[in-house]
Structure 1
């Protein structure tokens, strides 16, 4: 299909604006502690070499959650194809830090190039991927077109677009058909999204229902030394966790904790905001509730305080290990929820608000499996936490349901890896 006029206009605009966007992105990465050398990966300047032997399979996953969701899949594909090498790209400093600690064998990470002619061409010329797997919703037109022109096979997995994005694409049917037509296969999270892709002019014979890759993720890492120090400091105190909370949710969580303290005076709230840079703001909220606290980023231990503010990255695995009463944020406000699989992988059920539209099908499955309890305010949240802490029957039943649910999902990793290998015509690499 010939590129529509809108695509040509986009290419011209990005070529002109490369210096401006390069300055913004480089500055953002440098502020997050990324070296200037690695920040220039955004301009297509590779900082790693391409392995000579075996095919290179490129996974592009924009965010932390998307990046982490594909690591188990890469590991399984690598096991089945011992000659293959893997490249994973993402856009943020946080995702780079998280992925760096979990890279499977024969896998390297780079920052994705800006969607402009020069950066994308430099990137493809260096890496020469035989196959590319794009994850979820990052549809960069030039990245897709130039990768396709290089002869690489292309798959979109976990395909998901918001209602707003769908409407925007539907208003530009020629551009949508051109962009979605670059893929050899589009795997969606559910039947509804499969139909939406077809409605957006994706080739119907290339659209199929897949699986939510986040269900294949490995359990979050734990640090035994950190856990030992925390448990020693707690001296047997019980804990409940509020993880990945957003602005407007901490107030609800803290009010719930005040309610819980009335009958559980020794109870600790371990509060882990989604964005640790909001630490000062959250501290102010804790003080306004009259609660005592300590802060993880200051190397403090919880001791006998009411709240432990876990304002660090990469430690959720430790916090989930401390409790079976876990509230997952991004769900009491219209944010769409966060990955609930990480909670169930710890052997716990999930307490969640109702605003989980980004994971609607997942939560429907989990609800049916008896893994999720929904709450809408501080009173219901306090009640749900109290039940998980003090009702042994509920605690055991929910934990058992979570473990059964995880076992059912984890067995699918090999099946999905085999499906992708076939779709990418890599059967000859399987040993």
Structure 2
């Protein structure tokens, strides 16, 4: 821990400089920066819940409202790491939920944050385990809960190697793992078994509003969902190849970060394709629709019979298969699905998803998977992923431990 604190102190000046640069460029507000430094409007006597970004916050939402239902007196301080997640949470417009940027994992910022907000307990979603944050909460005698905990074999080995795993795990009051593998790895790192809560994958409980689907034939529509830099070009090349063989094919391209829209538009043109753009309110009249907005994924899932899940052709660990599967999409993914390894293994084994490692694999899938094949894959996916998490029981179990 001493080495970690030293490294954080050394890194604090360049991190602060980077944040100030974001403010100057208009990518972040002064109030967001103040919150990262432990300031902002006080929200005292609340249960502190932390979710990293849009995906984690969305998966936490059913649990958040289960907590508020189980105990109407509960008020939540929800922290996030990204501006877009802050905006997403503020959009809920719920007076029982205060949304703030998470404080940096620097002891000065954290002490300011804890003094200002005085949270009674910390609920961590998935794998946001920050050493200084956890240590100061533990030192104050405040319980720490980890819900939907996720720990890959690679991360477990890394934590064990640097010697910080056991002290951090010892500070966890109770943990509900996302899957059996993650649970076993936390136990191997020193978590006592009597601190285990029933497993829960919060992403299985997500309900996404469908919105109005595009007026395109669903079985001829491909969705590239939450793509990252390095994925769009091979997807577009594969789509162009498939469209030459299947002329009615359409593509909805929904990047993980909408700010990348200009560079993606250039890639679309380079692939010899036409497109229109959602953020410009242009109608979907071309073969590619650039869905560069937030909060409309349900609409895109409802519009597409075939969904490539982004973050899997590059080393991002892959995004959730649960949302597109819930909409009856046939699933495609790349080789890096470490974030949902067990889910994708079950999907692949059942025929509910297909691994596409290359541009040629994608082109073949886009070409061959017709309406009947998509429907069969969707049925297999529903069976492989199983029932949604029981967030009501989880919320009650968590509240009894406060």
Same fold (TM over 0.5): yes
- Offset, 1:77: 1.4
Question: Could you say what secondary structure the match of 2:77 adopts?
Answer: strand
1:26-425 equivalences in 2 (<5 Å): 26-28=20-22, 31=25, 33-50=27-44, 56-102=46-92, 106-173=96-163, 175-207=164-196, 210-219=199-208, 221-224=209-212, 230-231=214-215, 238-303=220-285, 305-367=286-348, 370-388=351-369, 390-392=370-372, 394-402=373-381, 408-410=386-388, 412-422=390-400, 424-425=401-402
Give yes or no for contact 1:37–1:47 (8 Å, CA) kept in 2: no
Query: Number of matched residues?
Result: 402
Cα distance in 1 between the residues matched to 2:152 and 2:48: 25
Give yes or no for contact 1:215–1:410 (8 Å, CA) kept in 2: yes
Could you say if the C-alpha distance between residues 195 and 395 of structure 1 is closer, same or farther in structure 2, counting changes exceeding 3 Å? closer
Cα distance in 2 between the residues matched to 1:378 and 1:76: 42
Could you say if the C-alpha distance between residues 153 and 30 of structure 1 is closer, same or farther in structure 2, counting changes exceeding 3 Å? farther
Could you say if the C-alpha distance between residues 101 and 222 of structure 1 is closer, same or farther in structure 2, counting changes exceeding 3 Å? farther
Could you say if the C-alpha distance between residues 112 and 335 of structure 1 is closer, same or farther in structure 2, counting changes exceeding 3 Å? closer
Give yes or no for contact 2:245–2:367 (8 Å, CA) kept in 1: no
Cα distance in 2 between the residues matched to 1:161 and 1:32: 35
Question: Could you say what secondary structure the match of 1:122 adopts?
Answer: helix
Give yes or no for contact 2:330–2:375 (8 Å, CA) kept in 1: no
Could you say if the C-alpha distance between residues 171 and 264 of structure 1 is closer, same or farther in structure 2, counting changes exceeding 3 Å? closer
Q: Which residue of 2 aligns with 1:24?
A: 18
The higher radius of gyration belongs to: 1
Cα distance in 2 between the residues matched to 1:198 and 1:19: 36
Q: Which moved more, 1:260-269 or 1:141-150?
A: 260-269
- Offset, 1:76: 1.0
- Offset, 1:400: 4.2
Give yes or no for contact 2:152–2:182 (8 Å, CA) kept in 1: no
TM-score (norm 2): 0.88
- Offset, 1:377: 2.9
Q: Which moved more, 1:278-287 or 1:83-92?
A: 278-287
Question: Could you say what secondary structure the match of 1:271 adopts?
Answer: strand
Residues 21-63 of structure 1: CA distance to partner in whole angstroms, max 9, x if unpaired? 3342343356454321232001111325336xxxx22111122
- Offset, 1:140: 1.7
TM-score (norm 1): 0.83
Cα distance in 1 between the residues matched to 2:398 and 2:328: 29
Cα distance in 2 between the residues matched to 1:170 and 1:356: 22
Could you say if the C-alpha distance between residues 259 and 168 of structure 1 is closer, same or farther in structure 2, counting changes exceeding 3 Å? closer
Q: Which moved more, 1:61-70 or 1:374-383?
A: 374-383
- Offset, 1:19: 5.0
- Offset, 1:134: 1.1
Give yes or no for contact 1:237–1:266 (8 Å, CA) kept in 2: no
Q: Which moved more, 1:31-40 or 1:351-360?
A: 31-40
Give yes or no for contact 2:51–2:78 (8 Å, CA) kept in 1: yes
Residues 244-292 of structure 1: CA distance to partner in whole angstroms, max 9, x if unpaired? 2233322322232223323432322111222333333323322222222
Question: Could you say what secondary structure the match of 1:409 adopts?
Answer: coil
Long gaps (5+) in structure 1:
1-6, 426-431
- Offset, 1:75: 0.6
Long gaps (5+) in structure 2:
none
Cα distance in 1 between the residues matched to 2:357 and 2:155: 27
Q: Which residue of 2 aligns with 1:4?
A: none
Could you say if the C-alpha distance between residues 184 and 349 of structure 1 is closer, same or farther in structure 2, counting changes exceeding 3 Å? same
Residues 271-323 of structure 1: CA distance to partner in whole angstroms, max 9, x if unpaired? 122233333332332222222222333332221x2222223333222211212
